[in-house]
């Protein structure tokens, strides 16, 4: 359990993930506040998945950053655990993306979106309501897709860094064993060592 050698730009990637996650949760919350009673069950289900995915992302990414930048955090840095959690998180964001994209496609077929016209000019009109609803839904869908791509990138880079670190550690172990074996061979082949092993002493003149 130790922090692998990660590239410096990975910090900025995770900050971007947190910002996009906040945007996805914010637009989803705004969208849920606009939901029509006919769509409430679909919107609420999609919103709950986004909320859960956002909370999971916040927990994973902030924990990684805190452990990597504290002196004692490395002792509890469980690499496999982060790999599993990031994989699960990516699945949830993919689910958010697909669910909201399907919902946006269904909403697009509503007649209010086909003819905003005069209805859209009134803040109380259904056309204006559906316009805001649809735009917020599209924004949330795009952010969920971006979040999924960023987390997949983070997961790929993190796994590669862990594998590279493990391979480097194995190479160091092999070199250490080879040096020990060479030292043992050198000691065994020296005349003094042979005399010590046989118990004899060189003749004194």
pTM of structure: 0.71
Closest CA relative to residue 90, chosen from 139, 151, 138, 145: 151
pLDDT score of 189: 57
Q: Where are the beta strands (DSSP E) in 94-176?
A: none
CB 108 within 8 A of CB 116: no
Range with lowest mean pLDDT among 1-5, 16-20, 161-165, 186-190: 186-190
Closest by CA to 134, choosing from 43, 18, 6, is 43
Q: Mean per-residue pLDDT for 100-117? A: 65
Of 44-53, 65-74, 75-84, the one with minimum mean pLDDT is 65-74
Lowest mean pLDDT of 73-77, 101-105, 134-138, name the range: 73-77
What DSSP character marks residue 199? T
- The model's pLDDT over 109-141, given as tens digits with 9 standing for 90+, comes to 665 555 444 444 444 445 556 777 778 888 888
* Residues 158, 117: Cα–Cα separation, whole Å: 50
Instruction: Round to whole Å and give the CA distance between 131 and 108.
Output: 10
- Amino acid 92: pLDDT: 93
Nearest to 35 by CA among 120, 112, 113, 107: 107
What is the three-class DSSP state of 133? helix
């Amino acid at each position: 359990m130790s922090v692998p050698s990660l590239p410096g730009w990975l910090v900025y990637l995770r900050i971007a993930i947190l910002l996009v996650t906040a945007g996805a949760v914010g637009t989803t919350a705004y969208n849920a506040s606009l939901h029509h009673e006919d769509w409430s069950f679909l919107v609420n289900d999609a919103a709950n998945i986004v909320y859960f995915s956002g909370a999971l992302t916040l927990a994973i990414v902030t924990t990684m950053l805190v452990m990597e930048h504290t002196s004692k955090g490395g002792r509890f840095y469980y690499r496999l655990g982060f790999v599993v959690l990031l994989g699960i998180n990516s699945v949830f964001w993919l689910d958010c993306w697909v669910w909201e994209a399907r919902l946006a496609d269904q909403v697009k077929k509503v007649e209010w979106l086909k003819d905003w016209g005069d209805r859209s000019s009134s803040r109380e009109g259904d056309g204006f309501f559906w316009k805001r609803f649809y735009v917020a839904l599209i924004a949330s869908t795009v952010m969920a897709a971006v979040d999924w791509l960023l987390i997949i990138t983070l997961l790929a880079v993190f796994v590669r860094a862990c594998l590279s670190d493990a391979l480097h550690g194995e190479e160091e172990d092999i070199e250490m064993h080879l040096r020990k074996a060479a030292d043992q061979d050198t000691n065994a082949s020296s005349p003094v060592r042979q005399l010590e092993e046989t118990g004899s002493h060189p003749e004194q003149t």
